[in-house]
Amino acid sequence: MAAEAEAEADRKRRRSDRAGRPKLCSPGRPMAAGREDRQRFWAAISRGLTSEDAAVAVGASPAVGTRWFRNSGGMPSVTMAPASGRYLSFAEREELALLRARALSVREIARRLGRAPSTISRELRRNAATRSGDFQYRATTAQWHADRRAHRPKVAKLARHEPLRRYVQDRLAGAVAMPDGQPVAGPRVRWRGRRHGRRQHRRWATAWSPEQIAQRLPLDFPDDEAMRSSHAAIYQALYIQGRGALRCELTACLRTGRALRVPRARARRSGKHFVTDDVRLSARPAEAATRAVPGHWEGDLILGLGSSAIGTLVERTTRFTVLLHLPPMTGRGERGERGERGERGGVRTKNGPALAGHGAEAVRVAIVEAIATLPAPLRRSLTWDQGTEMAQHAQRRADTGLPVFFCDPQSPWQRGTNENTNGLLRQYFPKGTDLSAHTADALAAVATALNGRPRKTLGWKTPAEALNEHVCSPRNANVATTA
């Protein structure tokens, strides 16, 4: 019996040897998804989905999607070109495995799949699982063999061309030097594998962008065609470390300093969750843009030392200004129930309100109190940026009847009147000073002074005079004048 078993094992080993490939290490656990799934994953990323949502859309777990995105530096790890019909797809390999398990002939399988018999025969021979010594066709193993064989390792140009790589590195991460050529070290910053934090020192470098480097190469080397590279190739060398060209810590020299590439669609989609289509600037009444009717306001916060802030409201037609007093809330710097560390060395309750005075709750209360003093015709709309202090805008509208509209991200010109007024207010509240030191009466005095200045845009009338003139017009005769 032992001799027969050994002979049978030899026969199986001889059959597996006909696969025509050397012995390979085990593929291990099947891949979380194949090439087609990864293509659909990166297509979803390009539409602006998060890594987790894109992974769920292709049938993978959110953790797998995060790993795919981080391991590839935020750039597609597979070509997005559709697969050629010349090669078998994973769906065809699954169908082939089912038909093979039913002991159908090669020609019958080829007829049902619409493929040549030689294609099916070659697939069964080359991509079958052979660890048992026999040919056992499994779709996942066959796809793994096909993907492994399809790899065409090509050394990146920046990895094999030393002068080009040195030129890119010098323009990207070269030392900053004085006019006489003496290098200046700048702050010492340790690479942490992630983007620099807010208000933190950054690495000093010449910091040319990849596009600047790529466009400068033809000017510096007009006769050397080898000294050419595209900006996309430089980005890939930075973010995809498998290319072995540029070190990942050089991403700190980019203007954004991001350790991962952010898809363009995701950057365009940036905005707060509480900003819906019905409160965007495009939904604001058209009369606000003409400035013919008063009652449309613009608002913002000016920030100072120690997370202090003052709220500003400016009427678009008359430039009338109202200042909001935002003192620190009770409990700031004191011990909370859970003992979490807060601002200025204190501790605060976990998930409690922002105690600095310019959180959503504090700003909502301040605006409601200020708007309540205005007559109804002067409460038409309020335009704000997408700061988190406006997260309770729905409750604010219910309290005051004043609809709130939000500017587009990073578009301060859409509320230019308020930005101009904030610049005027910096004469009284310079940057870097503690704004919480000013009382409500002091803010009222500053607002009165600003509203008493004649303005060229108002025909040298003051904002207070212009507002009273509009309020006392015949159609608003029944409304009392402002103080």
3-state secondary structure of 309: strand
- pLDDT surpasses 90 at 442: yes
- For residue 463, give the H/E element and its range: helix 463-471
Mean pLDDT of 129-156: 77
What is the Cβ-side half-sphere exposure of residue 51, based on CA atoms within 13 angstroms? 18
Residue 161 shares a structural domain with residue 145: no
Domain annotation covers residue 460: yes
Q: Mean of the per-residue pLDDT values for the chain? A: 81
Lowest mean pLDDT among 79-88, 156-165, 342-351: 342-351
CA torsion, ordered 285, 286, 291, 292, to nearest 10 deg: -100
The band of 263, judged by pLDDT with boundaries at 50, 70 and 90, is confident
The band of 259, judged by pLDDT with boundaries at 50, 70 and 90, is confident
Pick the closest to residue 301 from 287, 311, 293, 292 (CA basis): 311
Task: Report the distance separating Cα 177 and Cα 187, nearest Å.
Answer: 14
Residue 313 shares a structural domain with residue 381: yes
pLDDT of residue 346: 47
Domain annotation covers residue 481: no
Domain annotation covers residue 482: no
**DSSP character string of 240-256:** -GGG-SS-GGGGGGSSS
Mean pLDDT of 467-481: 67
Instruction: Give me the helices (H) in 48-180, please.
Output: 51-57, 62-71, 90-101, 106-113, 117-126, 139-150, 157-160, 162-173
Backbone angles phi, psi at 328, to 5 degrees: -60, 140
List CB contacts of 360: < 8 A, sequence separation 6 or more.
353, 354, 388, 389, 390, 391, 392
Pick the closest to residue 389 from 468, 238, 272, 285 (CA basis): 272
Residue 321 shares a structural domain with residue 214: no
List CB contacts of 345: < 8 A, sequence separation 6 or more.
333
- pLDDT surpasses 80 at 244: no
Q: How far is CA 390 from CA 8, 305, 306, 360, in A?
A: 77, 21, 21, 6
Task: Answer with the residue of higher pLDDT: 335 or 399.
Answer: 399
Query: Tens of pLDDT along 6-39?
Result: 666 555 554 555 555 555 555 555 555 677 788 8
Residue 60 shares a structural domain with residue 167: no
pLDDT of residue 278: 72
Domain annotation covers residue 103: yes
The band of 91, judged by pLDDT with boundaries at 50, 70 and 90, is confident
Task: Report the distance separating Cα 466 and Cα 319, nearest Å.
Answer: 9
Domain annotation covers residue 308: yes
Domain count, the chain: 3
Residue 245 shares a structural domain with residue 297: no
Pairing of strands 296-303, 309-315: antiparallel
3-state secondary structure of 279: helix
- For residue 135, give the H/E element and its range: none
What's the CATH code of the domain at 418?
3.30.420.10
Domain annotation covers residue 221: yes
Pairing of strands 404-406, 381-384: parallel
Residue 323 shares a structural domain with residue 461: yes
Q: How far is CA 458 from CA 188, 237, 319, 322, 454, in A?
A: 52, 56, 9, 18, 8
pLDDT of residue 270: 56
Residue 71 shares a structural domain with residue 19: yes
- For residue 212, give the H/E element and its range: helix 210-220
* Domain termination site, one of 266, 294, 317: 266
List CB contacts of 390: < 8 A, sequence separation 6 or more.
274, 360, 363, 384, 396, 404, 406
Task: Report the distance separating Cα 391 and Cα 401, nearest Å.
Answer: 16
Task: Answer with the residue of higher pLDDT: 188 or 132.
Answer: 188
One-letter amino acid identity for 455?
R
Residue 233 shares a structural domain with residue 101: no
Residue 62 shares a structural domain with residue 200: no
Query: Tens of pLDDT along 188-216?
Result: 888 777 777 767 888 888 889 999 999 99
Q: pTM for this structure?
A: 0.55
Q: How far is CA 53 from CA 34, 65, 270, in A?
A: 18, 8, 16
Residue 254 shares a structural domain with residue 295: no
Residue 308 shares a structural domain with residue 384: yes
What interhelical angle do 162-173 and 231-239 show, nearest 10? Answer: 80
pLDDT of residue 214: 93
- pLDDT surpasses 70 at 235: yes
Residue 34 shares a structural domain with residue 173: no
Q: Give the domain extent around 249.
A: 157-178+185-266
Domain annotation covers residue 271: no
* Domain termination site, one of 214, 240, 266: 266
Query: Tens of pLDDT along 369-397?
Result: 998 888 888 889 999 888 888 888 788 77
* Domain termination site, one of 216, 247, 266: 266
Instruction: Calculate what percentage of the chain has a pLDDT beyond 70.
Output: 81
Task: Answer with the residue of higher pLDDT: 435 or 132.
Answer: 435
CA torsion, ordered 454, 368, 483, 320, to nearest 10 deg: 10
Strands in 404-406's sheet, in edge-to-edge order, are 321-326, 309-315, 296-303, 381-384, 404-406
Query: Tens of pLDDT along 218-229?
Result: 999 999 999 999
Domain annotation covers residue 164: yes
Task: Report the distance separating Cα 23 and Cα 11, nearest Å.
Answer: 17
Angle, CA 197 vertex, CA 312 and CA 203 arms, to 5°: 120
